[in-house]
Amino acid sequence: MRKTFRSFILTFVFMLSMISTSFAAMPEISSNSRYFDFTTKCFVLDGNVVVKTDDRTIKADKARVNLITKEVWADGNIYLEEPGQQINFTGGNLYAADEIKTVTIKGNVNFQRPDITIKAERCSFNWKTKIAEFDNLVEVTKDGKVDVYDVVHYNVIEDKIIDAQ
């Protein structure tokens, strides 16, 4: 029993040391309930999930967060925001990976700016380049006109469509 407890404590201390070196600043994480899954090395969050870093905020019904690899998997009522850039997306589920600086949102994706709305089934957004790629039944509403495409590349900083097919 003592050996098992000692192994648990050593594993926990090791995980905390890895987490503290993985982020320059720890993200703020809140939810109705949460626990740490030692098998996947993820925090499992449920209900009113908010994961907030210096640059972006992810809100969802449920999520798993790996603080070592800086990955987030989220489901249900997704809301992704970069407040400094006035960038926000909504959708059904999300996968974000800091290593590749990309978030992928699937299921009823909606991106809205004052003069354009883009809806699609999937969007991949690179937060370094600020390019969003929408695909699978992309509907663009601009100046009261609706156009439908297979794929749209959109520069969110320049607020313009780069390519639409």
What is the Cα 160 distance to its own chain's centre? Answer: 22
* CA atoms within a 13 Å half-sphere pointing along the CA-CB vector of 91: 27
The fold of the 1-83 domain, in CATH, is: lipopolysaccharide transport protein A fold (2.60.450)
Note the pLDDT of residue 7: 45
| pLDDT greater at residue 134 or residue 20 | 134
User: pLDDT digits over 61-82, tens only?
Assistant: 999 999 999 999 999 999 999 8
Answer yes or no: pTM beyond 0.95: no
Q: How confident is the model at residue 140 (pLDDT cuts 50, 70, 90)?
A: very high
Spatial neighbors of 142 by CB under 8 A, at least 6 apart, are 115, 116, 117
Where along the chain do its domains lie? 1-83, 100-165
Does the pLDDT of residue 21 top 50, yes or no? no
Q: Rounded to whole angstroms, how far apart are CA atoms 25 and 53?
A: 8
